[in-house]
Amino acid sequence: MRYVSTRGQSAPIGFLDAVLAGLAPDGGLYVPSEWPSFRSSEIAAFAGKSYAEVAAAVVGKFVGDDIPKEDLAQMCEEAYATFAHTAVVPLKQLGPNQFLLELFHGPTLAFKDVAMQLLGRLYDYVLERQSRKMTIICATSGDTGGAAVEAFRGRKNARIVALFPEGRISAVQRRFMTTATDANVACISVLGSFDDCQAIVKQAFQDDQFRHGVDLSGVNSINWARIAAQSVYYFTAAVALGAPAREVAFVVPTGNFGDAYAAFVAKKLGLPIHSITAATNSNDILARAFETGRYTRGAVAATQSPAMDIQVASNFERLYFEAVRRDAVETERAFRAFADTGLLDIPPAAHAWMRELFRGASVSEADTAKTMLSTLNETGEIVDPHTAVGLAAARGVDAKPSVPVVVLSTAHPAKFPEAVEAAIGVPPVTPRATPDLSKKPEKFERLPADGAAVKAFVRTFAATT
């Protein structure tokens, strides 16, 4: 299995190299050179298998010969044993044809754990064999940082630096990062937005001297192993609801378009997905792109669902590449222009192709809060604000009654206690298995939104740990 860049200027590489590289040297994103797929009978055979077994089969399609099957199976077993629910990602029925896919039973209570627990193990496995120590840098809108710190802390062959936007993430989210005491963890509170954090990380990767100096690697949502790991739960959910004989519609709360793109990947692998609704909060660049054909950057507004306060959805470039029939020259032109102007007009044929599968819906702050309350009143379930965005968007899904609608529940309500209590009047209860971090001391560095300052800090950190 080889991986090519969406911008066509970088040489094709194998799975493990693509995982460690993150962004391609030409600024593009790696995608498989050809899509693997399952036969219908193979998908049917997932019924009754454990989550870890399905994960090994699905992720295995993308790993190719880079890791022996037994080793990958072992890593999947260990990764998903860290989840507090024996189903790993349980499916809960909310209405006659509506389901919630609970992705938040991992150690940091958000869906990022699903991919990150596997990624931490993959890195350890590879770096041990290469006798190499890498510096992982990660910009977080809130949940990725905690999941990455939890997955990488204490690991021998990697150190982790998490950048988060000061004041834009919840205290619970911050503490999942800043209370880690392991020497290989550093946290930076950046005086700026998540897009600033992401821009600093991008810039660090483009600085060859810095990249090689600290042996830089990224685990942001563009990392192919994360995408592959996230495509797994679309299979387990759809098969539980009757796939491959039956189509399923998914509604995905979206920020960086990693999770929703993983649904597309599942479809490419052969899963019969009826539609994918990208549900955004008022930071609605993706909803607008799918609905109008214009991908235009706006200003970032702070919302109750901060993990989606993003106006540049990194993984969108991967979908665009497919939509223009894998024309790397066109993709490079479009995203270079977008970086300069903040504007991309999707060619009509490409937009029409996207619309065959994707819909966009943006949900206001008031509607998000109302949906938390109505969900509690109608079903007894307390949901977090990101999930509420998905539930509100699900009202617009125009599937036949025979098509079940699955809304991804991306975080536990206890991760956003203030927003949840404001909406429903009672505070959500933290699951028993989660340690109380509110009294542990926090450790982080406060830095301006300036690439040079961050690089200087990371250089010193890498030299001393």
Ligand X SMILES: *Cc1c(COP(=O)(O)O)cnc(C)c1O
Query: By the criterion CB under 6 A, which residues form the site for ligand X?
Result: 110, 112, 143, 221, 253-260, 307-308, 386, 410-411
Q: Interior CA angle at 268 toward 264 and 269, to 5°?
A: 115
Q: In which region does residue 25 sit, left (phi positive, over 0), alpha (psi from -120 to 50) or beta (all else)?
A: alpha
Question: Taking each helix axis from N to C terminus, what angle separates 143-152 and 112-130, rounded to the nearest 10 degrees?
Answer: 40
Q: How far is the CB of 167 from ligand X (least distance, A)?
A: 17
* Structure tokens, 60: 């295995």
Largest CA distance in the chain: 60
The residue ranges of DSSP E strands in 236-370, in sequence order, are: 248-253, 273-280, 294-296, 343-345, 358-362
**What is the residue type of 368?**
T
Q: How far is the CB of 20 from ligand X (least distance, A)?
A: 20
Residues catalogued as catalytic? 112
321 sits in which H/E element: helix 316-323
Q: How far is the CB of 79 from ligand X (least distance, A)?
A: 18
Q: How far is the CB of 387 from ligand X (least distance, A)?
A: 8
Indicate the DSSP class of residue 307: G
Rounded CA gap, 360 and 348, in Å? 17
Q: Is 165 helix (H, G, I), strand (E, B) or coil?
A: strand
For ligand X, the closer of residues 201 and 260 by Cβ is: 260
* Structure tokens, 197: 């954090």
Enumerate the β-bridge partners of residue 188: 163, 445
**What is the residue type of 455?**
K
Q: Interior CA angle at 175 toward 433 and 160, to 5°?
A: 100
Q: How far is the CB of 264 from ligand X (least distance, A)?
A: 12
Q: How far is the CB of 223 from ligand X (least distance, A)?
A: 11
Rounded CA gap, 298 and 289, in Å? 12
- How far does CA 199 lie from the centroid of its chain? 17
**What is the residue type of 52?**
A
